Amino acid sequence: MKLLIKNTTIVTVNDQDQVLEHADLAVSGKNIVGVGKAPLDFIPDRVIDGKGKLVMPGLINAHTHLSMTLMRNYADDLPFSDWLFKKIKPLEDHLLAEDVRFGAKLGIAEMIRGGTTCFHDMYFHMDEVASEVESSGIRACLTSALFDVSGNGEALLAQGCRLHKDWNGRSEGRITVQLGPHSPYLCSPEYLREILIEGRRLNCGIHIHVSETADELSESRRLHGCTPVQHLLNLELFSLPTLAAHAVHLEEEDFKLLSENGVSVSHNPGSNLKLANGFAPVEKMLKHSINVALGTDGAASNNNLNLFEEIHLAGLIHKAVNNSATALPAKTVIRMATINGAKALKLDQEVGSLETGKKADLIMLDIRQPHLVPCHDPLALLVYSAQASDVTTVMVDGNILMEDRQLQTLELSSILEQAAHQSIDLIERSQS
């Protein structure tokens, strides 16, 4: 289909970070063929009036655990270790494939409604997630959670490799697969070396939690005599493209090592705040030319998958932490939520900005809202004023997944009912 969005405001997030007013955007099939103006010979099958709307690249959630939606509002106001080991882990020990499937359906519906077009996931029973990604039309980079502290590390690694074999490149490239060692504290050095071997064989990237808590940093020093970042470097894990989730507690040398090794970081401000894990030194990371993306983490810790909320938090927190009103300006935060996420997932040649030749992964917001008028600066509007509920239309690969706030590929009412029932069933199973 050839689609033309006419007379709209376009936030391109290209190299010039252009904002185009009264502009057109043309889509042919899966790809963008015109930004600002349509090609002279472009004859659309459909025209969308973009007046009063803002078009931007779809948001990229660089770190989440999608099916934790079933654990939303279940374990709150707890220290991190109690939250993880006393509340969440007992539930995860009873996870079934159908739990993950219904949790994924719910999470995908939430993300699409909030303007997320691509996400980076780490969890269990990932075939179920891949299947829901395929049918829903969203884009995803998937990893199976890998750890060997429970004694089944080899089986988990085999599952992770099988996921790559079965799903990498599927759905016309919408699904990619990496390896997901959970963290240095749940993976022994020997196990991380095995994962590195498999990652090199598969030629894929790594998704791993790094330096999320102060306890993790101190324990790494006790066990390995160095920080988690230095530990992973010593194991040569960074020889593969790596996305480090959180990176809250970094020491001076860590910044240099992350930068020199091209490691991307997913900043997850909502989760870090709620679990009292601290403030990631994002401003300093950026000064070291580290690619920083944005993520929500899972809904068990956040408690939502709303990237506009993360955008808003990132735009505010670091001004206060750095005692500088110029820290993380709006343009920087928007890049973190779009093109930086694409770079972290090695998808920046395809998505993350609105440019001719790239995939048509985009969203439209209705900016004729009381909280969005007047629009002096579209970038500031997106960071400091916009809400997820302002998103009206979502497109991935040129396919419309939501229009006028109505999901096109998912049946929301049945998903809500099924997920609520499945959550209760999971909790009851874990307590029996």
The dihedrals phi and psi of 380, each to the nearest 5 degrees, come to -65, -40
Q: What pLDDT is stored for residue 277 in this prediction?
A: 96
Burial state string for 355-383 with b = 16 or more CB within 10 A and e = fewer than 16: beebbbbbbbbbbeeeebeeeeebbbbbb
- Residues contacting 386, CB < 8 A, separation 6+: 308, 311, 365, 367, 372
Does the pLDDT value for residue 384 go beyond 90?
yes
3-class state of residue 415 by DSSP: helix
The pLDDT value recorded for residue 36 is 97
Fold identical between 2-57+351-407 and 59-344?
A: no
Q: What is the pLDDT of residue 26?
A: 98
284: part of which helix (H) or strand (E)? helix 282-287
Instruction: Quick: pLDDT tens for 147-175.
Output: 999 899 999 999 999 999 999 999 999 99
Q: What is the mean pLDDT of the chain?
A: 97
Segments making up each domain of the chain, as ranges: 2-57+351-407, 59-344
Which of 139, 170, 37, 135 lies closest to 351 in space, CA to CA? 139
CATH number of 2-57+351-407: 2.30.40.10
**Residue 432 reports pLDDT greater than 90:** no
pTM of the model: 0.97
Contacts of residue 323, defined as CB under 8 A and 6 or more positions apart, other chains included, come to none
Q: How far apart are CA 226 and CA 243, in angstroms?
A: 20
Token output for 270? 């909502």
- The first and second tokens of residue 198, run together, are 């498999």
Task: Provide the residue type at 351 as one letter.
Answer: V
Distance CA 368, CA 362 (A): 19
Give the pLDDT confidence score for residue 313 in this predicted structure: 98
Looking at domain 59-344, does it have CATH number 3.40.50.1220? no
